[in-house]
Amino acid sequence: MTLRFEVDQAEAFRQGVNVPKSTNHVEVDPSKLSQEERDLIADRLDGIDIMAKGVDLEIMQGSSREGDTVHYHVKGLKKSSSRVVSKLPTFVSLMEAVREDEAKARKKLDDFRVKFRGEGTTL
């Protein structure tokens, strides 16, 4: 299967790797990957694109009695509209970027939950 992702050309250049285009493709055999790797990739797949994750946040206007009140509902994680960016054009580097993206997305989700808990908002 072909996977498409972005490569940080400046970082690759720093490491002495020539990457002519910022968009890169790698071929992988899903049967050769661990279940964890397949899950991380599958959660981000949009066609052949490996997308970054973001927080799925629903924002609702309060009732007319509440004035400018806004209610936030943190639904979980979702695919964002941008591809994962890897440091090098390799599968190993792609997986490092995917794992970093997963950690950042989960931290952001936790931060939203902590920030809005106790502020009279809906979680």
Write the pLDDT tens digit of every residue in 85-118.
Answer: 999 999 999 999 999 998 988 887 777 666 655 5
- Distance of alpha carbon 48 from alpha carbon 84, whole angstroms: 12
Q: What is the pTM of this model?
A: 0.74
Gap between the Cα atoms of 57 and 118, Å rounded: 17
Residues of the chain with pLDDT under 50: 120-123
CB 25 within 8 A of CB 2: yes
Q: Round to whole Å and give the CA distance between 89 and 91.
A: 7
Instruction: Determine the Cα–Cα distance for residues 72 and 67; give it in Å rounded to an integer.
Output: 15
